[in-house]
Amino acid sequence: MILLDGKACANHLNAKLKEKIAADTALGFRPPGLIVLMVGDNAASTIYVRNKERMAKDVGMFAKTVHLPESIQETELTTLIHEFNAADDIDGILVQLPLPAHINATSCLLAISPTKDVDGFHPTNAGCLTLGLPGLRPCTPKGILALLRHYHLSPAGKHAVVVGRSNIVGKPLALMLAEPLEYANATVTICHSQTTNLAAICKSADFLFCSVGKPHFFDRNYVKEGAVVVDVGITRTENGIEGDANFADLADHVLAISPVPGGVGPMTIAMLLQNTVQAWESRRK
Ligand code: GUN
């Protein structure tokens, strides 16, 4: 069984990015700048945001987290976003989700300049993905494809089943798997909570991507022998963070599987850094 080690892959990609940033700044370019906006004190978000800022600084970026009170009004938040849109030394703006219920997340995502939308959540970037045009792609799906590429596991021509249809993972992942590109070109099925016959569809997958938030749900009743399983689930339990796949049951059944933690998570942050550098380079031109 091949362990899809996202931590090792992310370390490798981050090291290469750090070299690129060092080389460009030695030529006189200012470092890439990333702003993370965090509203309230959601425990999981606080950890994610801290990791994003730390990793960005590690590769040589300017990175800052702006902590905002839970009580902030939507107009205050969008005003702040507009200020960072206009700031010349900022290339990437990320609003950590979820936002408090009184703030409309779509309005906030719309306020971010599409050129600085390093999460790839702005409707302009989502539209570019749908149309196959260049743009900033969502970090988790991008990280999953980068992880498969790192291990030379191409889904081209294969049946890829995506379980979960969120705007952050399932929907963009399905589109990216179907793009006419190397390490994509898959035949894609999207499953969700209303799918009948989930087990049979999953069992026909050569590549199975699970993102449902049900710890250990996907065992060998759902997985074909020799399949590639990418686990995008993250559920906090008393035993720590757990994935959607039953790793122990699948370990000697599959060709490859990503662990949780240490699989897709570190790849998401690596792609946030890649997107920030992409935005930095585009804004130079
Ligand atoms: N919350 C959970 N995942 C993400 C993500 O990828 N980006 C942002 N901004 N918030 C999230």
Per DSSP, the residues of 117-161 read -TT--SHHHHHHHHHT---PPPHHHHHHHHHHHHTT---TTSEEE
Whether 96 is in the pocket of ligand 1, judged by its Cβ within 6 Å, is yes
- pLDDT of 285: 73
Domain range enclosing 58: 28-113
User: For residues 228 and 159, is the Cβ–Cβ distance under 8 A?
Assistant: no
Residue ID of nearest Cα to ligand 1 atom 9: 96
Evaluate whether residue 19 is within a structural domain.
no
**CB-based contact 132:179 (threshold 8 Å):** yes
Residues 36 and 148 in one domain: no
DSSP code of residue 91: -
> What's the maximum distance between 2 C-alpha atoms anywhere in the chain?
58
Q: Which residue has the tokens 């030529």?
A: 27
The answer on 259 and 143 residing in a single domain is yes
Summarize pLDDT for 234-278 with one digit per residue, the tens.
999 999 999 999 999 999 999 999 999 999 999 999 999 999 999
148 and 71: one domain? Answer: no
List of the chain residues with pLDDT < 70: none
Q: What would the pLDDT profile of 231-246 be if each residue is shown by its tens digit?
A: 999 999 999 999 999 9
CATH number of 101's domain: 3.40.50.10860
Q: Of 72, 95, 113, which one is at a domain's C-terminal end?
A: 113
Q: For residue 76, tell me if it sits in a domain.
A: yes
What value, to the nearest 5°, has the Cα angle with vertex 151 and ends 249 and 200?
Answer: 40
What CATH number corresponds to the domain at position 164? 3.40.50.720
Q: Do 148 and 261 belong together in one domain?
A: yes
**Is 41 part of the annotated catalytic residue set?**
no
- For residue 168, the ligand 1 atom closest to its alpha carbon is 6
Number of domains in the chain: 2
The amino acid that residue 285 corresponds to is K
